[in-house]
């Protein structure tokens, strides 16, 4: 598998995963102000300039399932 490939999931798939016995860790990669204003329940704020450090620190197991979301205004 290509190391740059990032799988995508639908909202329905995310909802099901978050309700499962072993949910993924959820990260919002947006400036902290957006996270403070509104975020998915349980999401951890990981501002873009610190995302790698925050995610790596929170989930040291590189094989653990995580979900990272952001806003795409493009």
The model's pLDDT over 14-56, given as tens digits with 9 standing for 90+, comes to 999 999 999 999 999 999 998 999 988 899 999 999 999 999 9
Q: What is the pLDDT of residue 55?
A: 95
What are the DSSP calls for 14-57, one per residue?
HHHHHTSSSPPEEEE-S-HHHHHH---TTPEE--TTTHHHHHHH
Q: What is the pLDDT of residue 1?
A: 45
Judge whether residue 67 has pLDDT over 90. Answer: yes
Q: What is the pLDDT of residue 7?
A: 85
Sorting pLDDT into bands at 50, 70 and 90, what band is 65? very high
Q: What is the pLDDT of residue 4?
A: 67
């Amino acid at each position: 598998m290509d190391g740059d490939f990032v799988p995508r999931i639908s909202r329905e798939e995310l909802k099901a995963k978050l309700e499962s016995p072993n949910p993924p860790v959820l990260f919002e990669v947006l400036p902290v102000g957006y996270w403070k204003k509104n975020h998915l329940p349980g999401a951890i704020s990981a501002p873009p300039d610190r995302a790698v450090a925050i995610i790596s620190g929170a989930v040291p197991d590189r094989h653990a399932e995580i979900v990272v979301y952001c806003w795409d205004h493009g």
